[in-house]
Structure 1
Amino acid sequence: MHPYVLDPTGRDIHREAAELRARGPATPVELPGGVRAWAITSAELIRRLLADPRVSKDAARHWPPWSAGEIPEDWPLHLWVSARNMFTAYGEEHRRLRSLVAKAFTARRTAALRPRVERITADLLDALAAGPDRVDLRERFAHPLPIEVICGLFGIPDAARSGLRQAVDLIFATTTSPAEALANHQAVYAIIGDLVADKRRSPGDDLTSDLVAVRDDDGSRLTEAELVDTLLLLVSAGHETTVNLLDHAITALLTHPDQLLGVRSGAVSWSDVIEETLRWQAPVANLPLRYAVEDLVLDGVVIRRGEAILTGYAAAGRDPAVHGDSADRFAPGRADKSHLAFGYGAHHCLGAPLARLEAGVALPALVDRFPDLALAVRPDELRPVPSFISNGHAALPVSLRGV
């Protein structure tokens, strides 16, 4: 079977996911630069793979094209593979790196962030109320909320936030040219490097200072490269998924007025809305990359040792084998809203409770403050971000006080 060439623009992620599903639960695809991988679209198969010790995320150990130097430094997805942090670690290395940051995302510490999330939300809503009626809600609300939360956690100064946001957006973009990808690679490391140097000079009460202290007190626990790449992972993953979650939850309710009415009446809970949004519009559509540690036989398909695997979370969320004929429908009242939007197994997202907290505070506050909120364009005029990884809108134009 010829590999399916993924659309780097992410123009229609769910149509593409359906086409991949039709080719089988595991099908060969072509990534930018002609790189080959297996796309996994079955929810049940993804769960099996993500819990299987024969599947790795360490390219240096388990992806021959990488260790042989066949993947150029200007490959657009380079940072998804090259970074040395818990996202790309395997086995004991993964457990070591995850343990260094897991305590920062415990249920107790996450719950303690609620007052800060509420304050940031209130400030953003006040700013919206003082401005024009028509606004880009992704730019003015969905994006700044998680950015403010994560930058506060990591002590990122205001002056660095704009550049960091731009760099993270380009990491998730899959339409960048090799030259743009390489320049962004250098830019993001310069920003994180400056942050680390600043915290060494002037430590603060933040997670960056904590990780720098771990590195400097005992280098065997965390190398300098792991320190920088761990910060890159936590800052980028710490806001991108939440931006898309807020974006799609707002869009879903504004395009399903019956469901919004159900929320207002109390027939549908905000938790229902959040979980159904995560299922219906996974914030990360396709996640690169994993690798077969040995030959894997999956429902009649053989993935050979060293072959790369792309995890299709958007496809899994709408898997008819799980959600039946209504899989493509936004229905927060459905009994089974199971999804894999935050991953599964050892690599399940540490920040999932924080993303749920932010959405659980921000969404009801927005709807209460602007009861006549409406899309300012037709739904078919909304355009996606240029990515088959990140699943969100380039802009979310709304009228705050109705059309």
Structure 2
Amino acid sequence: MNAIAPAGASAAAFLARHAARAGASAARDAAAEWLGRAGLPRSGVEAWKYTSLRALGDVAFAAAPAQADPARVEAILAEAGRVFGLEPGLPRAVLVNGRFDPALSRLPAGVRAVRFNEATDLPSADDVASALNALLAEDGLVLHVASGHDAGRMALLSVVIAGDTPLSVHPRHRIVLEPGARLSLLDLAVGQGNYLNNPVIDIAVADGASLVHAKLQAEDVSARHLAVVHADIGAGAHYDSFTLTLGAGLARHEVHARLGAEGGVVHVNGAQLLDGRQHADLTSVITHGAPACNSRQTVKNVLSEHARGVFQGKILVERIAQKTDGYQMNQALLLSETAEIDAKPELEIYADDVRCSHGATVGALDGDQLFYLRSRGVAEHEARAILVKAFLHDAVALMGDDMLRAVLDRAVESWWNRKDA
């Protein structure tokens, strides 16, 4: 049986938009050839076993307009700042409908930013979301931190506004930290309406550098979100990431991290908080390609009503990667009998001197703990909130930057208050 569906309305519309563009690069043409031949994955594709793109494949997404109502954009940014407790003076790069808006942006000292250039910033793609992004990327940023410089904190803010016509945006970013450089990045996606947000970030963390990357996806439930991070980690370098998924009706966040030199460290932690009929998928592949590297991954899911969460995590240890230390854990808390979690932790090890472990647990709120709190006079909704926040606490606490951790805590609080209202 053919594992790939025909292109469908969505893929056909994407290809038509590509065909209308003059002078496309070789990378775009390769992506078009791949998408035209393969279409969007449905059943039978192992990497998409638990996440169907059937609903996506039947929508002919149009290109987003270059301009959006400035007052509406400002209102969305102000609301995000209030809800998530963003510092008013936090340096930021703002994208509106997938395009960089310099008027709304203020970059930190020591961070050099240049606009996306398809001739240099489109490497070949071997996954669906990256190929789609390569096909249609129009804007984005290359952020560059010089050797030995501590750039502090900044935000990468994406705002998408759609009306009656379904839109798609495909921002492409690259973050480069030279040896010894440091940066803490809040990657926040918000928006309103029916759209597809398909961001791709290519990350290079050179020897001895450190990137703290907190992603908060809090988009409209009518939106779809397909994102990919490709990260290459140098010798003694650190990539500390946390992805918190709250929004979009359909979301998938992929992380492909490679430890290519001795002593590198990767953390790919996250949480998915879903209700209604939301579907969110966190898929990761962490490749140990050098000796004495360390990876950690803890992913928590809180699912209610008919929500479905997916975790697919793979640790690949190549033969050269002796002295590898890898850990992976996925835990799910189901708040209703109709919520669902699919977990597939995986180890693929070719070295013989390693320490690797993985696991997965699924459960409901502890009835004894709930009874104990109720017996002490705590109202039921408050008791449930205490237990849910306690379940999430040790995952969010793994974020290494205090300010970013506070933003994630505020986001968890706002989600629960909205759900429990």
| Structure with the higher fraction of residues in strand conformation | 2
TM-score band, normalised by shorter chain: under 0.3
Higher relative contact order (CA 8 A, sep 6+): 1
The alignment's TM-score, normalised by the length of structure 2, stands at 0.26
The alignment's TM-score, normalised by the length of structure 1, stands at 0.27
